[in-house]
Structure 1
Amino acid sequence: MMNTTHTAMGLTLAAPLVLVAPELAPVAALAGLAGGVFPDLDLLSGQHRRTLHFPVYYGVAGVAASGAALLAPTEWTVAAAFFLLSAALHCVTDAAGGGLELRPWEATDDRGVYVHPAGRWIRPRRWVRYDGAPEDLLLTAVFSIPGLLLFDGLVRALTVVGLAASVVYVAVRKRLPEVETRYLR
């Protein structure tokens, strides 16, 4: 899935706070956005979906941080909880997408996301065929609705930028492998 899909999902996790703790909703939304981005920073390491993708560890830490946020709801505890929960959701949903190959629509790679405690890769399910597929854009749009309707200011602006970037990425996605092999190697 596109990084923007993950960030929109992280934002959606924070949406209920608009009703139950509106003063904490913006920080939860921004933390959800950041947690949705964070695992993909491992693209820079050459070990994508392994170096910073920890579906189990983020999940356990997110549940613990959520408990802390329920007991002592501050901006810091809420931000930690939503960051970790969003990062966990990112990692789990990566397994719903395609593999790690340069042209994931060809479905030649069986690596979805690495599960460190098990010491193995989870195979991609390809429910979203590849990052930048039309269904990926649809998910981004649907999960962006709370950011557009429930938030204002920076959260809404980041949601609009994410949607715009998604549209552009989907439009050029299938051309990117050619650009990489022709011009970047």
Structure 2
Amino acid sequence: MMATTHALWGMMLALPVLAVAPEFAPIAFVAGLVGGATPDLDLYTGHRKTLHFPVYATVATIPALAAALVEPSPVTVALAVGLAGAALHAVADVFGGGLELRPWEGRSDRAVYSHYHGRWIRPRRLVRYDGAPEDLLLAVSAGIPVIVIADGFVGAVALSLVVVSGGYAVVRKPLAGVAERLVRLLPTALLPYVPTRYRGT
């Protein structure tokens, strides 16, 4: 799924905070966005393995949520929403396409690495690839409630993410070929630092 989809769903997790403890809503929205997007920082270093923790992040979210409910504070609320966003990201990627440049071809059997199980979880492909129409639908479905309910700045951020999502969805498939062509222009010395999927292998 798109990083923007994950960020928007992370932000949507902050909506209950806005409803019950609005004083913590700003930090909750930031934490949701950051938590939802952060796992994809491993894009060039073991993507969907280095920072994706479908089991551990989910388990860690439970005591974090409990702490936020028992002793709400900016720190506990941010930790709970941020971890929930990161966990949702890792689990949601299981339902996407495989770890390949063209996931719509369905050749990869790797969706997300489970450190708990010590193996890759296979892709379920309910969302066929990042930027697919169904991925865009998920981004919009998370973005609309945030845009409508949250205040001006948070709503504007969510709207920006939805717009970026739409643009990416339009160009996603052609980008695969562009990436391969750009990689072929790189000096040979840099190729070991480029993920295999971008090298067309």
For the aligned pair, the TM-score class normalised by the smaller chain equals over 0.9
Offset of 1:66 from its aligned partner? 1.0
In 1, Cα distance between the equivalents of 2:148 and 2:155?
Answer: 8
Letter of the structure 2 residue corresponding to residue 52 of structure 1: L
Spell out structure 1 runs of 4+ moving beyond 6 A: none
Q: 2:83 — aligned with what?
A: 84
- Provide Cα deviations, 1:21-41, integer angstroms capped at 9, x if missing partner: 111122112111110110000
In 2, Cα distance between the equivalents of 1:20 and 1:147?
Answer: 15
In 1, Cα distance between the equivalents of 2:177 and 2:144?
Answer: 33
Aligned residue pair count? 184
Q: 2:120 — aligned with what?
A: 121
Aligned identity (percent) is: 56
In 2, Cα distance between the equivalents of 1:136 and 1:19?
Answer: 27
Offset of 1:7 from its aligned partner? 1.0
Q: 1:17 — aligned with what?
A: 17
Contact kept, 8 Å, 1:39 with 1:49, in 2: the verdict is yes
In 1, Cα distance between the equivalents of 2:152 and 2:118?
Answer: 42
| Higher Cα radius of gyration | 2
In 2, Cα distance between the equivalents of 1:184 and 1:147?
Answer: 38
Q: 1:157 — aligned with what?
A: 156
Q: Is residue 37 from structure 1 mapped to residue 44 from structure 2 by the alignment?
A: no
In 1, Cα distance between the equivalents of 2:23 and 2:148?
Answer: 17
> Which consecutive residues of structure 2, in runs of 5 or more, have no partner in the other structure?
185-201
In 1, Cα distance between the equivalents of 2:153 and 2:79?
Answer: 19
Contact kept, 8 Å, 1:110 with 1:124, in 2: the verdict is yes
Q: 1:134 — aligned with what?
A: 133
Offset of 1:44 from its aligned partner? 2.7
- Residues 20-99 of structure 1 aligned to structure 2 (within 5 Å): 20-45=20-45, 47-99=46-98
In 2, Cα distance between the equivalents of 1:118 and 1:183?
Answer: 36
Offset of 1:117 from its aligned partner? 1.1
> Which consecutive residues of structure 1, in runs of 5 or more, have no partner in the other structure?
none
TM-score, length basis structure 1: 0.96
Equivalent position SS for 1:97: coil
With 92-101 and 64-73 compared, the bigger mean Cα shift is at: 64-73
Offset of 1:56 from its aligned partner? 1.2
Letter of the structure 2 residue corresponding to residue 119 of structure 1: G
In 1, Cα distance between the equivalents of 2:130 and 2:124?
Answer: 13
Contact kept, 8 Å, 1:11 with 1:146, in 2: the verdict is no
In 1, Cα distance between the equivalents of 2:145 and 2:15?
Answer: 6
In 2, Cα distance between the equivalents of 1:159 and 1:12?
Answer: 9
In 2, Cα distance between the equivalents of 1:96 and 1:75?
Answer: 32
CA RMSD of aligned residues (A): 1.0
Q: 1:143 — aligned with what?
A: 142
Letter of the structure 2 residue corresponding to residue 36 of structure 1: G
